[in-house]
Amino acid sequence: MKSIADMYGRTLVIAPHPDDEVLGAGGTIARLAGAGNEVYIAVVTEGKPPVYSREAVSRVQDEAREAHKILGVKETFWLGLPAASLTETPHSELNAALLTLVSKLRPKTLLVPFVGDIHVDHQLIFTSALVASRPHHEGYPELILAYETLSETNWNAPYLTPHFMPNVFVDITTEIDRKLEAMKCFSSQLREAPHERSIATLKALATLRGATVLRSAAEAFVLVRHVL
C-alpha cells in the first residue's frame, strides 16, 4: 500500500487569499511536509488600494509567511492579482498565471478551493486551476482535490450551487495542533467563537470530519481527478 508521501508527491496548494490554505488544508500540508514531500502554496490575490491599505496587506502576508513556516511549506508564491476583483480581471490573465506556475512546478497533486464557495474569487480560481491542469499539458497534476473553507464553502445556496460532499478524508490527528498554531498567526483574520473564523470552530470542524471516518481529527476534500 502506498504511503501518503508517495500518493501525493510534490503538492501545490492554491489559495485565493492568505489563510484559505490553512483553513482548508493546513493539517494536510503539515502531514505531507512532515513526510518529506515538497509542498508549495500559491496565494493568488492581493488587496489593492484604496479598498485595502498597504499596511493591512503587508501584515496579512507576514502572518501567512509565519504560518507557512510552522506547516513546513517549501515556498510561497504571491501572484498578486486583485482581491475581490477577479470578475473585472481578464480571465486569460488568471489562467496564464496559474498555468505558468503549474508548468514550472509540475506538481503531482493540486489542492484547490471548492467551486461552490460563495466567494466568486474561489469559483474563478477553481476553474482556472483546472484549465492550468488539463491533461494535454506536459506533467499535468494526477491528483486534484478541492478543500473546504469555513465561511465560504458552507454559505452557498442549497440546490442552486454545488454542495460540498466530501469523499476524501485526510487524518490529521497528529497535525491538528500545528494547524491551529498556524491559524493563530492570522491575528488580523481570526474572530472569537462562535464566529466561523475562530480557533474553536476550526477545531470543531476537524473533529466532525474526523468522526465521520472514525478519526480524532481530519480534513475533508472533494475528489476532482485521480489518475492511477
pLDDT, position 2: 79
Q: What is the CATH number of domain 4-226?
A: 3.40.50.10320
pLDDT tens, residue by residue, 113-162: 999 999 999 999 999 999 999 999 999 999 999 999 999 999 988 888 99
pLDDT tens, residue by residue, 77-117: 999 999 999 999 999 999 999 999 999 999 999 999 999 99
Q: Contact, 149 vs 227, CB < 8 A? A: no
Using CA atoms, how far residue 24 sits from 49, 95, 198, 201, in Å, is 27, 22, 13, 13
Separation of alpha carbons 27 and 86, rounded Å: 28
Residue 151's region, left for phi above 0, alpha for psi from -120 to 50, else beta, is left
Task: Please tell me what DSSP assigns to residue 220.
Answer: E
Residue 9's region, left for phi above 0, alpha for psi from -120 to 50, else beta, is left
